[in-house]
Amino acid sequence: MEASDYLLTLAEVAVAFVGFAAIVISLRERSDAPSPDSSVHLGWLVERGLAALCFALLPLLLGFLHVPPEVLWRASSGLLFVYLVSAAYRSLSRWLRNSETGNRLGTAQYYARFTPSLLVCVGQAFAAMNFFPSLRTGIYLLGSTWLLVLAAMIFTMILARRDA
């Protein structure tokens, strides 16, 4: 299958990154209990990292089940689209809830994360609907890699917090 080496490497990097980030954050916060915001962000980091792992392995699993490549990439993109929309909804609702009580993540920082995620969502939707058949593999690889980038952005945000 095309792109299988990239997907396996992405899965390995996702597992290593989530483990490394969890160790660093736990060592950093061992002196006192993490704040509620920090706990939520740590949960998001682990979720996005493990989602990157799952979505990196999904096409390989479907390939082992002898799913035709066209269906494989369309189904994978469709599932990734659903996950990205649900994650964006949960993130946006929390950001809006926190904006009433003093949001720690500023508007510019939020949109810096949200806008590329929206573009990746649109790309996954187009790939799932087979609008760009020659690009469907690359669009899926971009989307699954974006999950790991999101996890890295959350990790950086956690480390940059002054009160954590």
Residues of the chain with pLDDT below 50 are 164
Q: What is the largest CA-CA distance in the chain?
A: 52
∠ CA 154-156-158, rounded to 5°: 70
**What is the pLDDT at residue 99?**
64
The token duo for 90 is 């949960």
How far apart are alpha carbons 163 and 34 in whole angstroms? Answer: 9
**What is the pLDDT at residue 11?**
94
How far apart are alpha carbons 19 and 10 in whole angstroms? Answer: 14
| CB-count exposure of residue 53 (10 Å: 0-12, 13-18, 19+) | buried
Q: Residue 15 CB: number of other CB atoms within 10 A?
A: 15
**What is the pLDDT at residue 76?**
94
- Per-residue DSSP letter, 161: -
**What is the pLDDT at residue 134?**
85
**What is the pLDDT at residue 162?**
55
Whole-prediction pTM: 0.84
What phi and psi, each to the nearest 5 degrees, are found at residue 51?
-65, -40
140 and 76 Cβ atoms separated by less than 8 Å:
yes
Domain edges within the chain? 4-160
First to last CA, the chain: 44
